[in-house]
Amino acid sequence: MVGDYPKITYRKHTFLSALALGISAIAIALIVSCTVVIIYGMHFAGEKSEQLVSLVEDAVRGLPTLQKSLPPVFADMLDDHRQPDYSSQLEITAKTAPVPEQSGRIRTSVTVVNNGRELVSLLSLRVVVLNGDGEVVDESNEWAATPFAAREDWRGPILPGARRYFSCLHNGPRAVSTVDLKTEVEITDVRLWGGAESSDEGRATRDESTGAPKPSEAKTSDAPAGPPAENM
């Protein structure tokens, strides 16, 4: 019949269906937001990493110029190099004994002799105290030589033919005798000063950059003029 129309039925959402739709919308929004944040973070990290690499490259390229522009005192400290084979020129002896006035404390006395012809700017030692059974009682890292001398553990460089004495305290057993203790010293790092030749080159470069006259030129300019030659 012409008057018959399809009936449209409206169903109301229940509380559970509305809650499910809300949670789904929130989850989709979170996923989209996290994706945008991750993409932006990757882009930002890429730009920063490129800037960091360029800064490191510029710093490495500028190290020689920076060293030449420093005062001689600081430039000489940077003019050193690692030389592990020079350890054969270093004679190291160590002896450990209990400290009578401090129960449970032991003192290690170390002697370093530089038998070579180079100046040791840095010498790092690992001092290990062992008992009679070969067990480690205590250990420490000590600086026998440093680029310059200062307070506490900064003992300064070791000149050729010089002896360096120092001591360090360790924790030990309360009842221990000198016979039961054994000390092992391991060289962990050796650095030598670059030498006077490189220092003279750096000083000459600094004189050229500042426009200071060389010693020979200064003597020539300051020398008094002699009497004029007489015509024969």
Mean pLDDT of the chain: 75
Place of tokens 């050193």: 80
Is residue 223 in some structural domain? no
Sequence-ordered strand ranges (E) for the chain: 80-82, 90-98, 105-114, 120-130, 136-145, 163-171, 182-193
What is the number of other CB atoms lying within 10 angstroms of the CB of residue 98?
20
State the residue range of the domain holding 61: 13-69
Are 111 and 175 found together in one domain? yes
- The predicted-structure confidence for 93-141, as pLDDT tens digits, reads as follows 999 888 877 777 888 999 999 999 999 999 999 999 988 888 888 899 9
pLDDT at 216 over 70: no
- CB 187 within 8 Å of CB 90: yes
Are 145 and 182 found together in one domain? yes
Q: Work out the pLDDT band at 166, boundaries 50, 70, 90.
A: very high
- Compute the average pLDDT of residues 186-191: 94
Are 143 and 190 found together in one domain? yes
- Could you tell me how many residues make up the chain? 232
Are 27 and 105 found together in one domain? no
- The predicted-structure confidence for 41-88, as pLDDT tens digits, reads as follows 887 777 666 676 666 666 655 566 665 665 655 666 667 889 999 999
Are 170 and 89 found together in one domain? yes
Of 187 and 61, which is predicted with more confidence? 187
Are 166 and 123 found together in one domain? yes
Q: What is the pTM of this model?
A: 0.54
| Interatomic CA distance for residues 41 and 35, integer angstroms | 10
pLDDT at 205 over 90: no
In this prediction, what percent of the chain has a pLDDT beyond 90?
28
- Domain count for the chain, please give it: 2
Q: Any idea what DSSP says for residue 100? A: T
Is residue 137 in some structural domain? yes
